[in-house]
Amino acid sequence: MTKIEPVDNDFFSPFNEEACTLCGECFHNCPVMGLSIEESIEEMKKLIAGNETRRVLKECQSCHSCNFYCPENAHPAELILQRWNEKYKKEGLRIRGKHYMTFYPHYPNFRSYVMDHMPKKTQELVKSWADLSPLKGDTLTYPGCNIITYAELTQTSFFKDLDIRGRLEYCCGETLFRTGYEDELFQVTKRLDKWFNILKPKNLLVLCTAGTNVFKNVLPRYGLTYKFDSIKSYIQYLWEKIENGTIQITNKLDMTVSIQDSCYSKMFGDDYMDLPRKILEAIGVKVIEIEACRENMRCCGIGGGFSVDSAYHTMKLRSATVRNIKEFNKAKVDAVCVYCAGCLATYSTAKKLYFGKFKVYHIIELLQMAMGEKPMSNKEKKKRAKHFFWGIMKKQLPKLPSKKTFKIADLQEDPPPYSEAY
């Protein structure tokens, strides 16, 4: 296997048609579609010509793995995003996708539904993160939308000194990036620039890998001007604390897991992809790898909603997730370990439709257990999954067959004041 190096500044740059030799390696190796070489070449020809494809434009989950597979560094994933963007601009997005636009507080969305149903104490915690008063130190800890809806994950001794700030409206724009909506991404960076200039952090600690990549490698391409001395992911932070003995493992776990990798770990190279594995080894957890791991990983399932055709169609998301669950079940492990709270939400929600035995833990929960701490209760996790499920279903089901479309509204630089009644 080729050694994966951290991506350079060029990795997300536009498709380079001149470099493409039409070899077909990109979609042939794609962990989602795995097309034959011939079909892959045909699809690439159609994409370059700007024509409808048979599969790629419908099924791609924008994981960016094909950028790694391309021997010519032509960035095939960016061509897909470009075509999606053109299609969206021409046709708009099916109305069923509107409920996924989670950076508008006044439009109820699936995350605001979840937040409305969180325990009062958790709501208070999340509200405290919207604070605009000066930071206590140099570092802003950025929760991201997924941790905001699983805020209990931060209630552990190893995060107690962190100054967490954020709200849904300070979204990093990861899904806009992955769906190719560039204009909207420029609006996101304007809002973020303004917010960072109020809080003036020197360093950014990000509680998810996706956000770490977006802040480091993506947003500077879309107009973010604010400069940090350092941007670090919580996975690096945790490993450093385990290595220097600040985190003490008192209760080694005796279990096996398979890992759901983050779509963005591969952007940081092999050393980064090793980190969750090293943390798990340190706490006594044996990792059984599935085929779709590390740079060949498949998205947890949310990526099944990113194409303009899918427009977050709930059944597309679920079938992508169930495909992964089946592979995890074949590995016969005690549980699946995720290190993105978005993956936790996706799998927990899918359990409502998938009736097989399936346990899923965030790596933070496993670490808490290995330190003798109590993670978020199973009862609360089940409730959260129920609210994710109904937050999506209640709004989307009636709209599934509708052909009506919408365009994403402009994002104002200043989000409205924080509202408890989302």
Which parts of this chain interact with ligand SF4 (CB under 6 A)?
A: 20-27, 30, 32-33, 44, 56, 60-66, 69-70, 72, 74, 76-77, 80
Q: How far is the CB of 41 from ligand SF4 (least distance, A)?
A: 7
* Shortest reach from residue 21's CB to ligand SF4, in Å: 5
Query: CB of residue 95 vs ligand SF4: minimum separation in angstroms?
Result: 25
Q: Within a 13 Å sphere around the CA of 390, how many CA atoms are in the beta-carbon half?
A: 10
Residue 340 CB, shortest distance to ligand SF4, in Å, is 16
Least separation in angstroms between residue 212's CB and ligand SF4 is 19
Pick the closer one to ligand SF4 by CB: 65 or 346: 65
Task: State the minimum distance, in angstroms, from the CB of residue 43 to ligand SF4.
Answer: 9
Q: Work out the number of other CB atoms within 10 angstroms of the CB of residue 316.
A: 21
3-state secondary structure of 362: strand
Q: 93 has which bridge partners? A: 406
> Which token pair is 359?
């346990």
- Closer to ligand SF4 by Cβ: residue 111 or 316: 316
Distance CA 327, CA 331 (A): 7
- At 404 the three-state DSSP class reads coil
Between 21 and 377, CB nearer to ligand SF4? 21
Nearer to ligand SF4, 61 or 324 (CB): 61
Q: Which is nearer to ligand SF4, 57 or 333 (CB)?
A: 57
Task: Report the distance separating Cα 98 and Cα 110, nearest Å.
Answer: 10
Cβ proximity to ligand SF4: between 61 and 310 the closer is 61
Q: Report the residue number, 21 or 251, with the smaller CB distance to ligand SF4.
A: 21
Q: Which one-letter amino acid corresponds to residue 212?
A: T
Tell me if 283 sits within 8 A of 366, measured CB to CB: yes
What is the nearest approach in angstroms of ligand SF4 to the Cβ of residue 48? 9
Work out the burial of residue 309: count CB atoms within 10 Å of its CB; fewer than 13 is exposed, 13-18 middle, 19 or more buried: middle
String of DSSP letters for 44-110: HHHHHHTPPPSSHHHH-----HHHHH-TT---HHHHHHHHHHHHHHHH-EEGGGGGG-TT-TTS--H
DSSP character for 164? B
